[in-house]
Structure 1
Amino acid sequence: MTGFARAAGTTGPVQWAWEVRSVNGRGFDVRLRVPNGYDAVGEVARTALQKTLARGQCQLSLNLTKPESKARVRIDEALLARLAEAVARVPVPEGIAPATMDGLLSIRGVVEAEDEAATEPDALARDLAEGVVRLVADLVEARRAEGRALAEIVAAQVARMGVLTQAAEDCPARRPEA
């Protein structure tokens, strides 16, 4: 059966949306599109579809929208002071320039940029997994609804064929005496 489902939500500042489209097919195939770094979550979604559906071709995608955030810069002033004291104690050999502020600031751990709109990765993974559960349930219901609609159409066509068959049987031209 064909079907479409969408599950969306927000986790912290991140807006996410799962979408799946399925079309009829003899076997079962899932094509997956997820942003870089979300392959594991995509495989969880693929597995959930495989456990639920037996046939068809599904296109599953995850879209993430992160707001543009400003990085907050933090300088570890205590570390910078200790580095400056240590450099001052070391005699500088001839031909080598003494340490400069930009050189000290480039040492790992002195300057750190923190994303103000950071999202807890565990919370996002949990919400994405819950979204997959809703997505699969909605897709199954969409496929069932299409099946019910097709069953009504086929039943109406079969009933119409019965009426036409009876009309043909009752036609006077089919009787030898006519």
Structure 2
Amino acid sequence: MVRSMTAFARQNADTEQGRFTWEIRSVNSRYLELHFRLPDDFRDLEPFLRDTLKKRLNRGKIEVFLRFHAANAAQGLSVNAALVEALNQAADQVHAVIGPGNALDALRILEWPGVLEGAAIDTKALQASALAAFEAALSELITAREREGESLAALIQQRCEECQALSIRADSLMPEAIAAQREHLQKKLDELLENPDTERLEQEIVLLAQKADIAEETDRLRTHIDEVQAILSRDEPIGRRLDFMMQELNREANTLSSKAIRTDLTRIAVDLKVLIEQMREQVQNIE
């Protein structure tokens, strides 16, 4: 299964204690990079989240966001009356020393640690709900990566077929190209030499034909293309393998271009390099 490294997933989960919203964003990267933004109450989940992602993903820059909105947060607050009374008595003692005019106001009292008390929270149940929602978000992300991966594989497959057709076309042009080159050289030598050495001429033409022969390059091109198509069918991370094959394809296309002895062969080499570059760009997004 071909997977893209580019995807996005969002999952909401409502519980009695509040609402979770998970967002997972994935973009291409040479390695697996994990980044988390979690509320303070859920930071201890990070090691588990990290292990889960490492087991199910292989490459990509992954950003994980969690937002939690507590249900009826304001209704769950209560005032620690005993602490407020103690603070007030302490303030009276201070006033007796420094004089009036520095009384504590209500807001400053509420800001004092421990004055406001929240309703008791079942942390274990809350974290279990959060993890269940995360699993759903991760499954959605993987499905999106696979869906886009299928599209990338189809594009690469199409360009492989076009490269195959171009390599066959190049092979079919070679006999005519060699014959034309032979005729061209013969005319040049006939003009320069009154009595040309036909044996030596034949040897030079054979050497030229060998140098201009592209059969080896086109054979390797087709072999590499077959390997790319085989890699696309593997059920494993294939991005790095495909990236290497793009380098090899480009190497053969460059050699073919350097050997081209006619403009139509040069155009084929250029078209091949364009197709290979298009595949290479797509491969950068594959896991």
TM band (smaller chain) = 0.5 to 0.7
The 5-angstrom pairing of residues 91-106 of structure 1 reads none
Give me the whole-angstrom Cα distance separating, in 1, the residues matched to 2:161 and 2:59. 29
Taking the aligned partners of 1:173 and 1:137, their CA distance within structure 2 comes to: 57
1:21 counterpart (15, 18, 25): 25
Deviation of the 1:43 alpha carbon: 3.0
1:174 matches 2:177: yes
Larger radius of gyration: 2
Superposition pairs of residues 132-143 of structure 1, within 5 angstroms: 132-143=134-145
TM-score w.r.t. length of structure 2: 0.43
In 2, are the aligned partners of 1:19 and 1:61 still within 8 Å (CA)? yes
Q: Please, which of 10, 13, 27 is the counterpart of residue 9 of structure 1? A: 13
Instruction: Report what 1:70 is aligned to.
Output: 75
In structure 1, the gaps of 5 or more residues are 80-110
Paired-residue identity, % = 25
- Assess if the C-alpha contact under 8 Å between 1:12 and 1:119 holds in 2: no
SS at match of 1:69: coil
Question: Is 1:30–2:34 an aligned residue pair?
Answer: yes
For the aligned residues, what is the CA RMSD? 3.0
Whether 1:125 and 2:130 are equivalent positions in the alignment is no
Question: Higher helix proportion, which one?
Answer: 2
For the structure 1 residues 163 and 12, does the alpha-carbon distance in structure 2 shift closer, same or farther, using more than 3 Å as the test? same
Matched length: 143
Runs of 4+ residues deviating >4 angstroms: 71-76, 111-115
Distance (Å, rounded) in 1 between the aligned partners of 2:8 and 2:78: 44
- Which ranges of structure 2 fall in alignment gaps of 5 or more residues? 83-114, 184-287
Q: Aligned partners of 1:160 and 1:39: how far apart in 2?
A: 51
CA contact (8 A) 2:22 2:134 kept: yes
Higher relative contact order (CA 8 A, sep 6+): 1
